[in-house]
Amino acid sequence: MTERITTGDGSATLFVPALNETYHSRHGALAESRHVFIEAGLKAAFLKFGTRLNVLEVGFGTGLNALLTLQEARKHGVELWYTALELNPLSPDLLDGLDYARASGHPDDDAIFRRMHDIPFNVAGDVTDLFVLEKRMVDVREFSDSPYRYHLVYFDAFAPKVQPELWTPEVFKRLHDVMAPDGVLVTYSCKSDVRRCLEECGFRTEKIPGPPGKREMLRAYSR
């Protein structure tokens, strides 16, 4: 049974005993999400594409990445369409104790966090005036969309050892096909196999400093 645990920075995550895997880093759920997806991903996309962005997340999970993305975009007046792929939505009782609005320093955003989870799947809904969320219940291996649509991709699937079927050239080729030229993809993994898969699909990759507990992570750019 999935359970809540406290990570190294005091923020919560979920642990799945059947997989022996957590949704976020045990070294710090909030710290990892901010470092990998906001600092390395979203801010890089701001610089390249300006104030209107389409974001694709592989693995909506707890919604932490989406919440932090909204908070950062709000500071800069950036308009976002956020598409998230998730096959296994979490139950409300698991989400209630995460308290990510308070942990992120914005306790008033609790209603926003709840709105993100209340929006039905496969229906686009306004979270704020500048943030539209579209959660799709689809396997990334079957995902498709308009070419060149996405400026930024968060690849946040469970680790390759847990979900090896998602870290393949076939999956990364699907993502490359829907990304704008010079679009940004970020992931916490820095495995050599992952980097080779990305490069095989046309991405240009770079290793950059990782979040707490990880020496490096990957950032990639579509061609």
The token pair at 177 is 């096909």
**Where is 151: in which H helix or E strand?**
strand 150-155
Least confident of 1-5, 30-34, 216-220: 1-5
> Which pLDDT value is given to residue 96?
86
Residue 71: φ, ψ to 5°: -60, -45
Given this structure, which CATH class describes domain 27-221?
alpha beta
Kindly list the domain boundaries of the chain, sorted by start residue.
27-221
Mean pLDDT of 21-42: 98
The angle at the Cα of 215, spanning 184 to 88, to the nearest 5 degrees, equals 55
**194-221 mean pLDDT:** 98
- The stretch 99-126 carries a mean pLDDT of 97
For the residues 138-143, what does the mean pLDDT come to?
97
